[in-house]
Amino acid sequence: MTQHETTAFVVDDDAAVRASLELLLRSIGLRSETYSSASEFLEAYDAARPGCLVLDVRMPGMSGLELQEKLDELHSILPIIFLTAHGDVKMAVKAVKTGAVDFLEKPFRDQDLIDKIQHAIDDDASTRKKLADRQKILALIESLTPREREVMDMVVAGKANKVIAIDLGLSQRTVEIHRGRVMRKMQADSVSQLVQMTIRAQ
């Protein structure tokens, strides 16, 4: 799997804003890419690339809010920070209510934007780690046979081997063998770890 570099994607129709943000982000050692329109960003968008989106609310053509809607339709997890002119605060608040992580009113202090970007990037990394963790657990569950899956569900529900044996019409020894295979295939060291894994997979 290709490791993508964390990137701040800047979408603003004002060339001066794009240039100054690129300079600011480079000064703190953060990779950035700038786009002059929402549709230009959408063409280049790749869900696998981590980072955050710094997005102007009001732009000609597709607005920042419309781009947010499009990304929602694509189930994007990329955190969005909206940049807004004084009159657009109401729009930005609406954007935050529908999933944006934050907004910043122009003109803003460089440090305020850096802090918000850093926070958004941390959020994105945490979300991506949880999703990767969940995918791994789901793959382990997929490796179980239907019988092992039944035994695992009962173990997770807190049932003793004897009870599982009666419920499934098996010998206790057979249940123990299935249980051992479940623990090995799920790479779980304890029942509590197995319970935690099934919770994370939901």
pLDDT digits (tens, 9 = 90+) for 105-132: 888 899 999 999 999 999 999 999 999 9
Residue 2 domain flag = no
Q: Quick one: 114 and 188 in the same domain?
A: no
pLDDT at position 1 over 60: no
Q: Quick one: 111 and 169 in the same domain?
A: no
Q: Quick one: 147 and 125 in the same domain?
A: no
pLDDT at 2: 46
Q: Quick one: 117 and 169 in the same domain?
A: no
pLDDT at 146: 96
Measuring CA to CA, which residue among 21, 34, 10, 6 is closest to residue 124?
Answer: 6
pLDDT at 183: 97
Q: What is the pTM of this model?
A: 0.80
Out of 65, 97, 129, pick the residue that ends a domain.
Answer: 129
Q: What is the pLDDT of residues 44-89, one digit of tens each?
A: 999 999 999 999 988 899 999 899 999 999 999 999 999 887 677 7
Return the percentage of the chain with pLDDT > 90, whole number.
80
Return the percentage of the chain with pLDDT > 70, whole number.
98
Residue 14 domain flag = yes
Residue 28 domain flag = yes
Domain count, the chain: 2
Q: Quick one: 123 and 177 in the same domain?
A: no
Dihedrals phi, psi of 102, to nearest 5 degrees = -170, 170
- The structure tokens 């700038």 sit at 34
Q: What is the pLDDT of residues 139-192, one digit of tens each?
A: 999 999 999 999 999 999 999 999 999 999 999 999 999 999 999 999 999 999
Q: For residue 59, give Cα distances in angstroms to 20, 34, 43.
A: 18, 14, 17
Domain enclosing residue 167, as ranges: 143-201
According to DSSP, the residues that pair with 105 across neighbouring strands are 84
